[in-house]
Amino acid sequence: MSLKIPESMDECLYFTNRSIGDGHVLAWVYRKRCPKCKKAQMGKPVVKGKVKSRAAEYVCPSCGYTEQKTEHEESLNLEASYTCPECGKEGESTAQYKRKTYKGVLSFVVECQHCQAKIPLTKKLKGIK
């Protein structure tokens, strides 16, 4: 499986590039195309030229179709390219774009395709217990 790394941050809903122990993870989530018109990518609503950062829904800029935040984000996939901190091998993986509890901390969990070790992507500066 060969993942396509995004060329611009405008294509992404979420993007991170960080080192975890001896490993390294580059992870992203592409924006979803509008399920109604299939022309534009869904995004948060724009009010007076500014993106509403804490919006509870996602809106299509071309047709105005609205989808609730929870159902929209559950339909997305997190893609990751990594060097495993356990086995040291490089790999690519996908996971559901939903934070799960890993050792007491909410994080996106990517699984190594070689050794099946779990690689957590926590929020910045969050330590694993």
Q: What is the mean pLDDT of each run of 10 residues along the chain (129 residues)?
A: 81 89 91 89 87 88 89 91 91 92 89 90 75
- Please, is 64 exposed, middle or buried when counting C-beta atoms within 10 Å of its C-beta (0-12, 13-18, 19+)? exposed
Full-model pTM: 0.84
User: What 3-state class would DSSP assign to 10?
Assistant: helix
Spatial distance between the Cα atoms of 86 and 119, rounded to a whole number of angstroms: 9
**How much is the pLDDT for 93?**
92
Beta strands in 1-129 (DSSP E): 12-20, 23-30, 46-47, 50-51, 57-59, 66-68, 77-83, 90-96, 100-102, 105-111, 118-122
**How much is the pLDDT for 5?**
87
**How much is the pLDDT for 77?**
92
User: What 3-state class would DSSP assign to 77?
Assistant: strand
**How much is the pLDDT for 1?**
53
